[in-house]
Chains A and B, each alone.
Chain A
Amino acid sequence: MSTLQDLYKLPLNQHKVLVANRGEIAIRIMRACAKLGLPFCAIYTAEDAASGHVRHAREHGGEKSLYRVSSYHDANELMAVADVAECTAVHPGYGFFAEDFRFARRVTKRDRKMIFIGPSWKIIRELGDKINTKRLARSLGVPTVPGSDRPIYDEVEAERIARSVFEFQEQQGIKRPLVLVKASAGGGGMGIEEVYDIDMFRSVYRRIRNYALRQFKDEGVLIEQRITDFNHLEVQIVSDRSGQHPVHFGTRNCSIQSTGLQKRIEVAPGFAPHNISYSFNAEKVLVDIVHYSLTMARKVGYDNVGTWEWIVTRNGDPFLMEVNTRIQVENGVSARISTVNNEGGVDLIAEQIRTGLGQPLGYGQEAIAFDGVGIEYRLIAEDPDNRFTPWVGRIERFSWQDQPWLTMLTHVPTDEPYEIPTEFDPNLALAIVWGKDLDEAKARGREFLDGLVLEGHNAAGDSLKSNVNFLRANTERILRF
């Protein structure tokens, strides 16, 4: 029986990767595998039979490369398929098991061991816990948001913390103090609500607690200061299994979000101090958050891709929000503006797989350079005029003009109608636009959105609602604070 160390020594082409995810990210993982010369095996559920990732696996997969499972959430299904398909590694994508340390541990500790393509399970456990991350950050002098430093299960205690966070803000001279109540086990902007009055706190707390119990089977709730006037920045970290030499692939700005605090537009780099004037030293903020992120990555021996998420206030104060121990949806926008040894076409998912399987990264920070501005639009069937309610129905026409500066990532077929499944997030596609500077990127972004065709109908005959107008209207304020 091979040990994990034996697996890390295998030549790349003797590996086979289980793609334990769906939709757009599954396709990107399969493409990255192909680029590295690796075979893969994909999975799907009954609801997803028409998804592009299933078709991609059928057309490009070899033997034993596609299995129908009962659920993406069932680890037993994934393990059973991995064994039958003779996989040596599991790529979790994002969502589902990506940040589940128990799953990562099981993959690497079971009888027939496999590599979990992500950080080691201990690191996921350490940083996946927002509270623990906060404590670690504080111990390294990295700034964090004021609030609870562990999940709260007790109503009286919750109210006491909320009261103290309100008082703290009043002392700071904040005119409209706000407290954020969020499901401790949540993520992706789900299960979060604001409270602006302590009298409202109890009912919001109960609602979030019940929601958390239903959705995540854990009623722990976090209570934090809600900083309203801020930009949401990220630092992309990449490191190999040695955990010794993490590098960064720059910063991203993800401030343009839906009312549910879900990202809609991501831009790399995080600010544009040469084009836009800020009320603070933006260049220094970017340098600082990169420095803080790398400090933490080195401290924990971070050994795969990861994202450090930051809040930057109008005064230019950065606060660490959380660490995402996985590849993110928006990794492509950072790759788009990056070069390694003066070569473009960087693929962070391929880098993740390659280093995850045990290869050394092979270059240092000095080899990485950045060029231009990247904008990523998330195309979603939803109604921005009605609190971003998801729209469900059938997509009948979906097309765009190909451009050398445009990358489209989608699992929605363009040559046949597609019924949007209701089981998952209603993301349809990611469009990554590149320009040599901010103005060119924005102009190209508008050109892309103007030429996009996205039409369909639901069961009641109403026509498709999408966020295209929202994306177009928000293109103007990209990177402005």
Chain B
Amino acid sequence: MIDISKLLDEIKASPYREIVISTPHTGVVTFGDLKVGDTVMGPQGQWKEKPGTRLATLERERNPKPILAPEKGEICLIHSELEGQFVEAGTPLMILRHMLTRAEVEHAILKKALHLFCAPERAKYYFIPEVEKKIRASDAHSVQVRDGMELLIMSRMKREVPLNYSGPDGVIYAIYFTINENMDAGAPLLGVCPQDQLPAIQDVIMRVQTEWTERG
């Protein structure tokens, strides 16, 4: 089993992550009256139903699209020279310094504790229809996986091939891929927890919940 205390200490030493805010598509960009040093909020509310702070607006084909803060953080750079300009897709607009939340720490530690089933190749991944149905009906924890079981569909260059799971038997504890997005070779797709280790994993979660205090 992993040493949780050590991991937590490591994370505590540098509890930040820099988030680069880039344009999702082309358009004319306008910034609000934010300045360097301001604190912005990510989506809030019980269901994250309240959107984050508006960082900028990107207008394309007469549709203004708000660019919202994905997480809480402090602005450390604004490319204000782009104000009013037409920009290409993927143009950096801002950098936020974000302090890790409890959920993120949990996520980071789980990634070390679970058995990771990784992408064999750069491709898009989907669950096979039966599994997809099950996940939609309840949740991923309800899906038992066995070594050699047909679990995913790998789609590359419009060609689809089935992908069998390999690794210890268990339940799917975390899903790391997004549908319709390319995953690099070696990127984790699923975190699987063997049945007998479930209590240990619950324990990890407990530790993080109690030991990690959110700040800022």
B61 within 8 A of A: yes
B122 within 8 A of A: yes
| With A69-B26, A392-B121: A425-B89 Cβ-Cβ less than 8 Å | no
Pairwise interchain contact B157-A70, C-beta atoms closer than 8 A:
no
| With A69-B89, A214-B126: A425-B158 Cβ-Cβ less than 8 Å | yes
Q: Size range of the interface on A?
A: 20 to 34
| With A80-B26, A190-B158, A459-B185: A68-B88 Cβ-Cβ less than 8 Å | yes
**From A84, A426, A459, contact of B157 by CB (8 A):** A426
A76 within 8 A of B: yes
Pairwise interchain contact B26-A390, C-beta atoms closer than 8 A:
no
Neighbouring A residues of B155 by C-beta, 8 Å: 214
A210 within 8 A of B: yes
**How many residues on B have C-beta within 8 angstroms of the other chain's C-beta atoms?**
24
Neighbouring A residues of B136 by C-beta, 8 Å: none
Of chain A, the residue at the smallest CB distance from B61 is A76
Pairwise interchain contact B122-A70, C-beta atoms closer than 8 A:
no
Q: How far is the CA of A390 from the CA of B90 in the complex (A)?
A: 28
Neighbouring A residues of B122 by C-beta, 8 Å: 392, 422
| With A76-B63, A392-B156, A425-B158: A70-B121 Cβ-Cβ less than 8 Å | no
| With A67-B26, A422-B122, A459-B185: A77-B89 Cβ-Cβ less than 8 Å | yes
Interface string of B58-86 (1 = CB under 8 A from A): 00110100000000000000000000001
Q: How far is the CA of A23 from the CA of B121 in the complex (A)?
A: 23
* Candidate in B123, B160, B182 with the most chain A CB atoms within 10 angstroms: B160
B25 within 8 A of A: yes
**From A69, A79, A390, A459, contact of B159 by CB (8 A):** A390
A389 within 8 A of B: yes
Pairwise interchain contact A422-B123, C-beta atoms closer than 8 A:
yes
Neighbouring B residues of A190 by C-beta, 8 Å: 158-159
A423 within 8 A of B: yes
Pairwise interchain contact A76-B60, C-beta atoms closer than 8 A:
yes
Q: Closest Cβ of chain A: how far from B22's Cβ, in Å?
A: 10
Q: Closest Cβ of chain A: how far from B203's Cβ, in Å?
A: 37
A27 within 8 A of B: no
A1 within 8 A of B: no
Neighbouring A residues of B60 by C-beta, 8 Å: 76-77, 80
Q: How far is the CA of A392 from the CA of B119 in the complex (A)?
A: 14
Interface string of B89-126 (1 = CB under 8 A from A): 11000000000000000000000000000000111001
A69-B89, A210-B129 known; 5 other A-B pairs, CB under 8 Å?
Answer: A46-B90, A79-B61, A390-B156, A422-B157, A425-B157
Which chain B residues have a beta carbon within 8 Å of chain A's beta carbons? 24-27, 60-61, 63, 86, 88-90, 121-123, 126, 129, 155-160, 182, 185
Closest 6 CB pairs of A and B: A70-B89, A68-B88, A70-B25, A80-B60, A390-B157, A76-B61
> What are 14 A-B pairs with beta-carbon distances under 8 A?
A67-B88, A68-B89, A68-B90, A69-B89, A70-B25, A71-B25, A74-B25, A76-B60, A80-B26, A80-B27, A190-B159, A389-B159, A422-B156, A425-B158
Which chain A residues have a beta carbon within 8 Å of chain B's beta carbons? 45-46, 67-71, 74, 76-77, 79-81, 84, 190, 210-211, 214-215, 260, 389-390, 392, 422-426, 459
